[in-house]
Structure 1
Amino acid sequence: MTDHFIEFEGQRYGTDVQGFLKQRLTWSEPLGQYMARLDGVTLTEEHWEIIHYFREYYEDYNIPPPMRMVMRVFKKAFGEENANSRYLLKLFPEGATKAASKFAGLPKPKNCK
């Protein structure tokens, strides 16, 4: 089996084949930014709002938040007009739950391919 990893600032971070960190506690914001850039995404304030929410939720429940919870938080932070799946797909073309989990250094959600 081939080892997968990301090299960042002189360190190697183990990942799965899709680039999800194997050790979530090794995550940092700069590493999250780098992981996003590798996927062609430049993180904005809107991305970070969701990423931080995912990390907090994961700490409390040991799973990524359900999409309806994400939409509720997003609506509160960025307004009704931006709290929809089309807007989230602009931010996270791979899918909000999958990409936000990945860039937050969390394991890949079980329901994502």
Structure 2
Amino acid sequence: MKTYFIVAAVLAVVGLLPAVYYAGYHQGKTSTAAAFNQAALEHRDKENQLLVQLEKAKKERKIVYMERIKMVAEAADACLDSPVPESISGLLHDASAAKTQPLTNTGL
């Protein structure tokens, strides 16, 4: 009778080993899958934050370029509206007059 109890105990332990192994395996597999899913969610969240920052930077850059174009246009208008200084206008007048005068033959 004693041998039966020992054999039964050994069979119970041997029978439990695969069950414990498979339970631990599946628990580890589930734990790993949950950790992977959590890491994927964190990665997507970080990626979304970076995309929002990129969109903000694009909008700010567009605003800066629009302001720059506006300032250049205003400066160009201001330059065109201001009168030309007398010394420069005299040079321009002399240059345009020299172009219109025909060359005369001095006989040399």
Fold similarity call, TM over 0.5? no
TM-score norm. by structure 2 comes to 0.18
Larger radius of gyration between Structure 1 and Structure 2: 2
Whichever structure has more strand as a proportion of its residues is 1
Name which structure has the greater RCO, CA cutoff 8 Å, separation 6+: 1
